[in-house]
Amino acid sequence: MNESPGRPVPPLPPGVDPAWLPAFALRPVGSRRVRVVGTGPLVDTVRGEVVAAVREHGGHLVDDGPVDLDLVCAPETGGGPEAFTAARAAATTTVRAAEGAGLLYGFHHVVRLGEAAFTGTWSTTAAPRQAIRMLDHWDNVDVHPVMGQVERGYAGGSLFYADGGVRADLGRVAAYARLLGSIGINRVCLNNVNVHRTEARLLTDLLPDVARLADVFRPYGVRAHLSVSFAAPITVGGLATADPLDPEVREWWARTTAAVHAAIPDFGGYVVKADSEGQPGPFAYGRDHADGANLLARALKPFGGTVFWRAFVYNHRQDWRDRSTDRARAAHDHFSPLDRRFDDNVVLQVKHGPLDFQTREPLSPVIAAMPSTRLAVEVQVTQEYTGQQKHVCHLVPHWREVLSFRPWGEEGGTVADTAAGVVAVANVGDSPVWTGHPLAQANLFGFGRLAWDDRLSAEDVLDEWIGLTFEDRTVRDALHQVMGDSWRTYERYTAPLGVGFMVRPGDHYGPDVDGYEYSPWGTYHFADRDGVGVDRTRATGTGFTGQFPRPWSDVYESPDTCPDELLLFFHHVPYGHVLRSGSTVVQHVYDTHFAGRDEVHRMALIWATLRGRIPADTFERVTELLREQLRCATEWRDQVNTYFWRKSGVPDARGRTLY
């Protein structure tokens, strides 16, 4: 038979971490006799993985059979384009899939199983729960004077851009694409949703370089997208207007999009942040967001492209004195009336909560309000508000809660059942460990795994990551203790009871309880000497609770039924209010802040026991970061506790130090 030699596995530049695909993770496959059947770019990718693995570990890629084969990856007819069947019988493990993508995912399923893939008899049929599994990169081509190269990036510069353009050497991007393919990510957006001058040119004269990037992602099943500015017809096209109903504008987008597809045949589509935080949008022309989104959708339609239109639209020039305006209401107010108005290749991209990726928010009610619109749920893998990759904050349990939330109560479906896809803001950069904090790799890995199947347990996903990443099998329990509950730990030492936004303005790192209290951003807690929290009830507040379907509209409406962790999101209560937990609000603040900080101390002690069982550079780096996390958690504890002590005058029931 005449089979291709396979696509070479992209080599890692010196010093770059292999993340969850280190050599040892490929040993179970690489030490065996493997056959890869089929043709096509993704099959070639699988074949290349096998070639590299057997070369490293002494196995064999064979092109005949059927006897003496440990693993066969081969096409089958039927099944979805990304689905696969994996099974073991008669001492042979098989992966079968209708298309190359499914084969690649099945292959990595076997890699994750490790030796277990070659033991016993078993069978799995798998298909992704979400067809759209996307990462948005907030990368700028030019280094932004305030935001840096990667907006809200905590892992160094951009993987894609350097020196004012797309990198000449995309070797590292290929290694990144391989990592994404291995966890089932199938779309990336290559540039920041805030589109600046140079980035606007990705659509035009920089397009050949975007095509080079798309070429690198394609063999791993990942389609490229671009963020575009709604004003591009003016700023790039030289037209006098960007009005979505203007024929010239429509023609410009059609022409421009055709050129993009000519360069990138499988171009995924556009991501658009419009009429938000200063970005241009259809409001300037008296049009609505359906007009805006459909304009781009129709340009993309002939080529199979999709518009990802962000629902993150709110008034960021609010007056803090005006308690009737509620930023949490904004997305629902803007978008729910537009259900049925969007074309079928529009995906409305909705942040999971109504504000902005806080550690704890209720679900965005938009997600339950637009049955006729394709919705993607957006989460934030980059830790903007969750410790900025200086803190261990394993977010998979958070996303697991979001995706399994049932907006219509126990009888209804979950968010994941409802969604047309999931999108995450990426957390990678040119850091040698990809994510700045070595343990933040688990968030990227876990996002991919949950996007594929939200029913996986967060615990299992974490253990899967640990097992793939660290060769020493004895580290699992300790690492699990350090990471497993770290999101809730972070929640404990930061803003309490769902109130959010007690962060330092601008950089969003570290505490500043009143930092946003008098700002135009709509991010208030209204703490006074008597109580704290935002009244978002229908009865006496902003009415935000009414944006939810039952039962949540009722559950959230009453402080007696509202979950403790969201109490201050929905209610303004006295400091002496007794929580469902039995504690008062102010004592809860003290207790959780002391506990959260002490948990970080405990995490550091457990981590210290791993010396010698973790690669030394990783060990030292995380040790140093835990020191910063402890310092910062102490600062959070003392500032938040002191703030509420000075305001409430209520001493700590346990007599601990307040300042």
Residue 367, token pair as written in the block = 């997600």
Q: Should residue 414 be labelled a site residue for its own copies when binding is judged by CB under 8 A?
A: no
Judged by CB under 8 A, the stretch of 182-190, 258-266, 383-391, 639-647 that binds its own copies is: 639-647
- Measured CA to CA, the distance from residue 581 to residue 563 in angstroms comes to 10
- Measured CA to CA, the distance from residue 583 to residue 406 in angstroms comes to 28
By residue count, the chain amounts to 659
Positive or negative CA dihedral for 516, 522, 525, 526? Answer: positive
The helix (run of H) or strand (run of E) holding residue 623 is helix 616-648
Min dist CB 493 to its own copies, Å, is: 15
Cis amide bond preceding 505, omega within 30: no
Phi/psi class of residue 422: alpha, beta or left (left: φ > 0; alpha: ψ in -120 to 50)?
beta
- The answer to whether residues 138 and 425 touch, using CB atoms and an 8 Å cutoff, is yes
- Measured CA to CA, the distance from residue 231 to residue 246 in angstroms comes to 13
Min dist CB 527 to its own copies, Å, is: 7
Judged by CB under 8 A, the stretch of 243-251, 278-286, 625-633, 646-654 that binds its own copies is: 646-654
Q: Should residue 383 be labelled a site residue for its own copies when binding is judged by CB under 8 A?
A: no
Judged by CB under 8 A, the stretch of 277-285, 430-438, 513-521, 545-553 that binds its own copies is: 513-521
Judged by CB under 8 A, the stretch of 239-247, 364-372, 509-517, 560-568 that binds its own copies is: 509-517
Residues 6 or more apart whose Cβ sits within 8 Å of residue 255: none
- Measured CA to CA, the distance from residue 316 to residue 328 in angstroms comes to 12
- Measured CA to CA, the distance from residue 362 to residue 541 in angstroms comes to 16
Q: Which is nearer to its own copies, 285 or 636 (CB)?
A: 636
Phi and psi of 262, rounded to 5°?
Answer: -65, -35
- Measured CA to CA, the distance from residue 104 to residue 124 in angstroms comes to 15
Of 510, 361, 381, 514, the residue nearest 441 (C-alpha) = 381
Q: Should residue 514 be labelled a site residue for its own copies when binding is judged by CB under 8 A?
A: yes
Among 511, 522, 533, 541, binds its own copies (CB under 8 A): 511
Min dist CB 283 to its own copies, Å, is: 24
Among 246, 339, 635, 652, binds its own copies (CB under 8 A): 635
Q: Which is nearer to its own copies, 105 or 643 (CB)?
A: 643
Q: CB count, 10 Å around CB of 417?
A: 13
Q: Should residue 513 be labelled a site residue for its own copies when binding is judged by CB under 8 A?
A: yes
Q: Should residue 63 be labelled a site residue for its own copies when binding is judged by CB under 8 A?
A: no
Q: Which is nearer to its own copies, 382 or 648 (CB)?
A: 648
Q: Should residue 647 be labelled a site residue for its own copies when binding is judged by CB under 8 A?
A: yes
Which amino acid, 178?
R
What secondary structure letter does DSSP report for 7? P
Positive or negative CA dihedral for 225, 297, 375, 127? Answer: negative
Which runs of E-coded beta strand occur in 238-393? Answer: 269-272, 306-310, 346-351, 375-380
Of 86, 138, 78, 135, the residue nearest 108 (C-alpha) = 86
Min dist CB 475 to its own copies, Å, is: 36
Write out the catalytic residue numbers.
277, 356, 384
Q: Which is nearer to its own copies, 611 or 646 (CB)?
A: 646
Among 14, 66, 78, 145, binds its own copies (CB under 8 A): 145
x/- letters, 282..321, toward its own copies (CB under 8 A): --------------------------------------xx
| β-strand partners of 187 | 134, 223
Based on the number of CB atoms within 10 Å of its own CB, is 371 exposed (0-12), middle (13-18) or buried (19 or more)? exposed
Judged by CB under 8 A, the stretch of 107-115, 175-183, 600-608, 642-650 that binds its own copies is: 642-650
Among 649, 651, 653, 656, binds its own copies (CB under 8 A): 649
Min dist CB 641 to its own copies, Å, is: 11
Min dist CB 275 to its own copies, Å, is: 24
Judged by CB under 8 A, the stretch of 186-194, 373-381, 561-569, 645-653 that binds its own copies is: 645-653
Min dist CB 504 to its own copies, Å, is: 9
Q: Should residue 642 be labelled a site residue for its own copies when binding is judged by CB under 8 A?
A: yes
Q: Should residue 659 be labelled a site residue for its own copies when binding is judged by CB under 8 A?
A: yes
Min dist CB 439 to its own copies, Å, is: 28
x/- letters, 516..545, toward its own copies (CB under 8 A): --x--------xxxx---------------
Of 559, 503, 504, the residue nearest 533 (C-alpha) = 559
List residues binding its own copies (CB under 8 A): 145, 320-321, 511-514, 518, 527-530, 635, 638-639, 642-643, 645-649, 659
